[in-house]
Every structure is written in C-alpha cells, then in structure tokens.
C-alpha cells in the first residue's frame, strides 16, 4: 500500500482576520445580542441609493439573480434605507465592461467574473477560476480561510475596487460543439467562445478562442461564426438554447472547476457607507453566494435530463486533449509568474493551497464518491 503524503501549510496571521470577516458576514448575532433591531439602526442612518451593473442577462435568473437577492437583503437589513437597483448587461454598459463602470464611478458596484478582465492582468483569473484549479468548495475555502480574499483585495486595490465572494456555479460543462472533437488534431483552427486563461490554453492547443458576452453566443453559434461555445452548465445553457444549433455537449469543463462570481464595489463609495450598511452588504453577499451554488446544484441535473431527451449527445473530452491542456496550463502559469509580479504573488500561495486541498479531497471526498457513482442504488 502506497503512502499518502499531505504537506500541511503553516497558519498565517491574516487567515485569522479572514475567519473573523467570514463569521461577521454569515451572522448578525451581535446586533441581536445587543438588543438592537435592524430597523432601529436604520432609523439613524441616511437614505442611500446605489446601482449595480451585472455582466449577465435577466433571462439567466440563477446567476443574474445573485445581484437581485443582494439588493433585496440589503434593503431588508436596513429597513429600506439602503436601496440598490440592479441593471442587466447592456442596460448601462456591456457585460464585459462592468469593472470599468465601477472604476470610473458610472455605477457603485457590479456583479461579474474576474476572468473577464485578464486582458488587463492575468491575476484577475484567480478571482473566478483557472484551468485545473479549485472546485467550488475549495475556492470558497481559499477565499475565506486560505488567504485568497486578502490577496485578491490587495491586487484589486490598484483598480479602485473591493471584492466580495458573490456566488459559484459549481464545476461547469465543457461546451457545445457543432461537430464533435475526437482527438487533439481536431482542435486545430477550432473557433470556440471561451474567455480568460482557459481561452489562452485552448489557443496553445491550436484553437482560436473568442470572448463573447452571454447574449451574443447563440447568434454566433447559429451563424457558424464560431464552431463551439462554453457557458455554464445544463440549466443556463438550456435557457440560452445552444442545443438547438449544436447537439454535441462535452464534459468536463476543465478550465472552470469552481468558478466564482464576485461583487466589485468602488472603494470610495464603499468608504462612504455607514458601518452598519457595510455589514448589511457583507451579510447579503454571503447569503447570495450560498443560494446561487445551491440553486445550480438543484437545477442542473434536471436540466441535463431534459437536454438528453431533446436529442443532445454527451461526449467526454478525449484523454489526449485533457493531458495536453493540463500540460499547457501549468506551463502558462510558470511563464506568467516569471514576468508578472502580482500573478506570481497570488499563484505561489494558491498553488500551495491547491496541493493540500487535493491531498485531502482525494481521500474522503473522492474515495466515497468514486464508490457511490460506480455502485449506484436505483
């Protein structure tokens, strides 16, 4: 029997701070213990109105709905005095310009994915997901207890925003293809919609990646402007109708094992908020994040059944594509770390955390799941 080695990381002082921050977000027990109701606090506070621009269309109520839930809870927790109006992608700015709108003060906040902005700096990708990275649970663990949130906030300070964990879709699917890819050779020249570092890895494999907002994917796929596209998973993909123009559905989404959605808030606007409003906002982001993941986990299996009934064909990525993608991925990371100081700073800590997480998850989680999935009770 081979030995299993798990190298424990030393604890860091800042992790204690993050634990306290997370507990603060997850509970308002302190207020209740003091005998002060939320309306009583709000009565002494000013009326404030914010706007949040989303990177997502209203039709995708699960991912778009995270911002709506945030707005409702903030209003509830402040007795209606802190109002946030949510705008879908395109109403104020295009979905991929949400961060810019927060930076320049057009809106106070946005609900978006960090990896949309890797053109500014590849370090942004760690705020969402990177290929062959962390699962959704591991991403949350890294953010709240592994130093990830502090690292990303330090990085994002240069962009005049503060970040909050705002949801996760869980491991995504591997995309819709007009024609199936049967080997690595089929990837050459493939035009595929995929943002972030995942797109760069596909490029290294010979594909031609495209970055398109959610609402632009279907027409591009229908017209043949692109050969393939990835979005999220069965539930959202079904809503966007990709199966009507591309029947081949691949898995797994190796470039998004646990993609996080974030709330970015303009730093100056954040500093202006009363402390009680800041607390309400933090609590609401934590609630929205939990709800989003749970909703996807409940709806995706049912949506997949409907897609299969509609004639969709499932395909597992060929082994040569998976191996080549993983090799290209870590070559990219090492190359970027050698020339990008901010990337190296985050990547170094992220890689250590990933190592110990995989060691643990490969035992309890994988051990049980592998058995159960191979021996399903009908």
Per residue of the chain (378 residues), give pLDDT as tens.
544 333 444 444 445 445 445 444 444 444 444 444 555 554 588 999 999 999 999 989 999 999 999 999 999 999 999 999 999 999 999 999 999 999 999 999 999 999 999 999 999 999 999 999 999 999 999 999 999 999 999 999 999 999 999 999 999 999 999 999 999 999 999 999 998 899 999 999 999 999 887 778 999 999 999 999 999 999 999 999 999 999 999 999 999 999 999 999 999 999 999 999 999 999 999 999 999 999 999 999 999 999 999 999 999 999 999 999 999 999 999 999 999 999 999 999 999 999 999 999 999 889 999 999 999 988
> In this predicted structure, what is the pLDDT of residue 14?
47
CB of 325 within 8 A of CB of 206? no
Give the whole-angstrom CA distance, residue 218 versus residue 222: 6
pLDDT at site 374: 92
Among candidate residues 238, 362, 256, 244, the one with its CA nearest the CA of residue 301: 238
Which token pair is 325? 């993608």
Is residue 332 within 8 Å of 201, Cβ to Cβ? yes
pLDDT at 215: 78
Alpha-carbon gap, residue 83 to 103, rounded angstroms: 20
Q: What is the pLDDT of residue 75?
A: 98
Question: Is the alpha carbon torsion for 124, 174, 209, 332 positive or negative?
Answer: positive
Tokens 């959610």 identify what position?
214
Q: What is the DSSP string of 81-97?
A: -EEEEEE-TTTSS-GGG
Distances (CA, A) of 84 to 33, 47, 72, 81: 28, 11, 8, 10
Q: What is the distance between the alpha carbons of residues 77 and 41, in angstroms, rounded to a whole number?
A: 9
pLDDT at 4: 37
Whole-number Å distance between alpha carbons of 169 and 171: 7
CA distances from 86 to 17, 92, 287, 348 (A): 31, 10, 17, 36
Measured in degrees and rounded to the nearest 5, phi and psi for residue 144 equal -85, -30
Which residue has 């890895």 as its token pair? 201
8 Å CB contact between 38 and 31:
yes
- Alpha-carbon distance of 29 to 24, in angstroms, equals 9
Q: Are 57 and 89 in contact (CB under 8 A)?
A: yes
Strand partners, 266: 161
CB < 8 Å & 24+ apart, contacts of 302-309: 302/235, 303/233, 303/234, 303/235, 303/237, 303/238, 304/234, 306/234, 306/238, 307/234, 307/237, 307/238, 307/243, 307/249
Q: Which residues contact 268 (CB under 8 A, 6 or more apart)?
A: 105, 160
> Please, where are the H alpha helices in the chain?
13-26, 29-33, 38-43, 61-77, 98-103, 136-145, 148-156, 196-204, 214-223, 234-240, 267-272, 275-309, 319-339, 341-361, 364-374
pLDDT, position 7: 41
CB 128 within 8 A of CB 114: yes
Measured in whole angstroms, the distance separating CA 374 from the mean position of its chain's CA atoms is 29
Handedness of CA 270, 290, 115, 193 (dihedral sign): negative
Residue 211: predicted pLDDT: 83
pTM of the model: 0.86
The phi and psi torsions of 108 (rounded to 5 degrees) equal -85, -25
């Amino acid at each position: 029997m081979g030995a299993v080695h798990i190298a424990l990381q030393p604890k860091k002082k800042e992790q204690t701070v993050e634990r306290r921050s997370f507990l603060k977000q997850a509970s308002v027990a302190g207020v209740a213990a003091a005998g002060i109701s939320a309306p009583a606090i709000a009565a002494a506070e000013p009326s404030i109105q914010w706007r949040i621009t989303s990177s997502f269309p209203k039709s995708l109520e699960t991912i778009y709905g995270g911002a709506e839930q945030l707005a409702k809870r903030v209003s509830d927790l402040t007795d209606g005095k802190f109002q946030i109006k949510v705008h879908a992608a395109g109403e104020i700015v295009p979905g991929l310009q949400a961060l810019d709108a927060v930076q320049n003060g057009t809106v106070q906040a946005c609900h978006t994915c960090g990896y949309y902005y890797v053109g500014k700096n590849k370090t942004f990708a760690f705020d969402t997901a990177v290929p062959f990275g962390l699962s959704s649970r591991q991403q949350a663990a890294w953010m709240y207890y592994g130093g990830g949130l502090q690292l990303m906030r330090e990085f994002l300070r240069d962009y005049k925003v503060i970040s909050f964990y705002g949801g996760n879709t869980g491991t995504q699917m591997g995309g819709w293809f007009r024609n199936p890819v049967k080997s690595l050779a089929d990837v050459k020249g493939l035009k595929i919609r995929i943002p972030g570092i995942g797109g760069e890895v596909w490029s290294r494999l010979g594909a031609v990646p495209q970055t398109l907002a959610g609402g632009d994917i279907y027409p591009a796929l229908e017209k043949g402007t692109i050969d393939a596209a990835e979005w999220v998973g069965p539930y959202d993909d079904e809503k966007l109708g990709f199966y009507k123009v591309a029947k081949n559905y691949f898995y797994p989404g190796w470039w998004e094992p646990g993609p996080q959605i974030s709330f970015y808030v303009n730093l100056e606007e954040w500093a202006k908020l009363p402390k009680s409003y800041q607390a309400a906002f933090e609590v609401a982001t934590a609630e929205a994040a939990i709800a989003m993941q749970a909703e996807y986990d409940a709806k995706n299996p049912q949506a997949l059944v409907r897609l299969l009934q509609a004639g969709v064909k499932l395909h597992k990525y060929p082994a040569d594509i998976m191996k080549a993608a993983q090799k290209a991925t870590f070559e990219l990371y090492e190359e970027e770390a050698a020339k990008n100081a901010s990337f190296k700073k985050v990547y170094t800590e992220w890689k250590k955390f990933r190592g110990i997480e995989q060691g643990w998850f490969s035992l309890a989680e994988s051990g049980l799941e592998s058995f159960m999935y191979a021996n399903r009770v009908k």
